[in-house]
Amino acid sequence: MKVIVCGAGQVGFNIAKHLADQNNDVTVIDRSKSLIRKISESLDVQAVVGHASDPSMLNKVGAADAEMLVAVTQSDEVNMVACQVAHSLFSMPTKVARIRNQAYLKKGWRDLFSRENMPIDVIISPELEVAHALARRLEVPGALNMVPFIGGKVRMIGLLLDEDCPVLHTPLRQLTELFPNLHTIVTSVFRAGRLFVPRSDDQLQAGDAIYIAVETETTERAMAVFGHEEKTAHRIVIVGGGNIGYSLASLLEKSGSTANLKIIEMKKDRAAWLAERLEKTIVINGDALNREILAEANIEQTDTIVSVADDDEVNILSSLLAKQQGCSRAITLMNNPIYGSLVGSIGIDVALDPRETTVSSIVRHIRRGRIRDLYSLFEGQAEIIEAEILDGSEVAGKTVGDLRLHGDVKFGMVVRDGETIVPHSDTLLKDGDRVVILAMRNSVKKIEQLFSARADIF
């Protein structure tokens, strides 16, 4: 697939990297010579200095032959115009734009992005995506990550295993014997810097980060099996009242799951703005690195601190100070991947990398076949894929074992006629089934082909 990425910032870089790693033909446009130089030196893509919405520039990089434009510059307006130009002048099939200003996304202006007005096929709002990702982590306490699939019937949950995990050093095939009603499959293991799909005779170790596929209704029981019985957080402090902090507070207010919610915001004007718009949230104007401000937020009685300021160092330090003063759990936003390796050793419970959520929201619109949804893991090393089985595809009428996908692919869950099925090698795959699969990077194309009916391929 030929894709043009407009914008070589952090989001654009990671989208280009992900697409290039999977052998797509990628061109990146940005006005910054230094950013273009960095991409040229780091990635196997074409990188061009220029204005992303300039018709001449888009023509120069072959927009007429491209299948997708992804506009993720720092300017919403440039992103919108680039999509308009790609549609009107080059008839590009798919246009994706990052829109950060929530004013454009209000319900009253829904027709703005219609095909007749401004033809953008997919709008992504990274801040909103991150807020939803944080809310999901709060919904399943103890999880490193939680992503719902198949209308919420299935969850993929990331967990860190410690020494108290009751199923350490137990062959995975024995889990069904030990817990016969456990509707759970271990789909991947991250150990010592390596991600792999476990075999039935593999054993889990302390320090492993795993992803499990679980029937949503049995989440609590599955978490307990792997040593996680944390209580739901009802007292939460959010550090940073920017778009992410505000969106998260709004989501939590609407869910009604939080009895006591506070935001600490450094800027006085922004704090006043938040106080006007949030009905159930206490807004504190001050520095989250000030112990007196943390005391005012009653941090020692707080279940979870969620640090989402614009500065990674502020997020890390405020999380550590909060835990030092008695806060039970810390969820921390980290834009710089260099800090990721420090998470466990310094005491932060969950680190959220916004690149993961943003890349996933874009890549799901690239996949062919009957791919319904996906989520990218570990910097694109693997993807969780939700697919639909159609009569005429290679998988229809075959068992999981017939597909011979051992090693790099793991079937997590099958949903048939509303019923959740834990797949085994002899599970027959039928027309209309929805499946959740974990596929390593090198196997993603194979999954696309397997779940494509002939009409999808041609």
pLDDT band at 343 (very low <50, low <70, confident <90, very high): low
Tell how strand 350-352 and strand 329-333 pair up: parallel
The CATH number assigned to the domain holding 378 equals 3.30.70.1450
The CATH number assigned to the domain holding 318 equals 3.40.50.720
pLDDT at 342: 65
The answer to whether residue 69 sits within a structural domain is yes
The answer to whether residue 417 sits within a structural domain is yes
- In angstroms, rounded to a whole number, what is the distance separating the alpha carbons of residues 301 and 65? 58
Q: Average model confidence (pLDDT) for the chain?
A: 90
Q: Are residues 410 and 349 part of one domain?
A: no
The residues, any chain, with a CB within 8 Å of residue 191's CB and separated by 6 or more, are 205, 207, 208, 209
The last residue of one of the domains, among 81, 103, 124, is: 124
pLDDT at 287: 96
The answer to whether residue 77 sits within a structural domain is yes
Q: Which residue has the tokens 């996680």?
A: 228
The answer to whether residue 88 sits within a structural domain is yes
> For residue 368, is pLDDT > 70?
no
Rounded average pLDDT over 304-327: 94
Q: Are residues 140 and 72 part of one domain?
A: no
235 or 458: which leads in pLDDT = 235
Q: Tens digits of per-residue pLDDT, 114-144?
A: 777 888 988 888 888 899 999 999 999 999 9
pLDDT at 378: 86
454 or 267: which leads in pLDDT = 267
> For residue 457, is pLDDT > 60?
no
Q: Are residues 221 and 251 part of one domain?
A: no
The answer to whether residue 82 sits within a structural domain is yes
pTM of the model: 0.86
Q: Are residues 250 and 334 part of one domain?
A: yes
Domain range enclosing 402: 358-457
Q: Are residues 104 and 16 part of one domain?
A: yes
pLDDT band at 456 (very low <50, low <70, confident <90, very high): very low
Q: Are residues 422 and 387 part of one domain?
A: yes
Whole-number percent of the chain with pLDDT over 70: 96
Q: Are residues 323 and 217 part of one domain?
A: no
Q: Are residues 210 and 277 part of one domain?
A: no
Q: Are residues 249 and 333 part of one domain?
A: yes
Q: Tens digits of per-residue pLDDT, 255-280?
A: 877 779 999 999 999 999 999 999 99
Q: Tens digits of per-residue pLDDT, 243-258?
A: 999 999 999 999 877 7
pLDDT at 70: 95
Q: Are residues 105 and 6 part of one domain?
A: yes
> For residue 283, is pLDDT > 50?
yes
Q: Tens digits of per-residue pLDDT, 94-105?
A: 999 999 887 887
Q: Are residues 192 and 219 part of one domain?
A: yes
Give me the number of domains the chain comprises: 4
Q: Are residues 115 and 11 part of one domain?
A: yes
Amino acid at 428: L
Rounded average pLDDT over 338-346: 66
pLDDT at 379: 80
The last residue of one of the domains, among 124, 146, 175, is: 124
The answer to whether residue 230 sits within a structural domain is no
The last residue of one of the domains, among 74, 106, 124, is: 124
Dihedral, 102, 105, 107, 111 alpha carbons, nearest 10: 160
pLDDT at 133: 92
Rounded average pLDDT over 10-26: 87
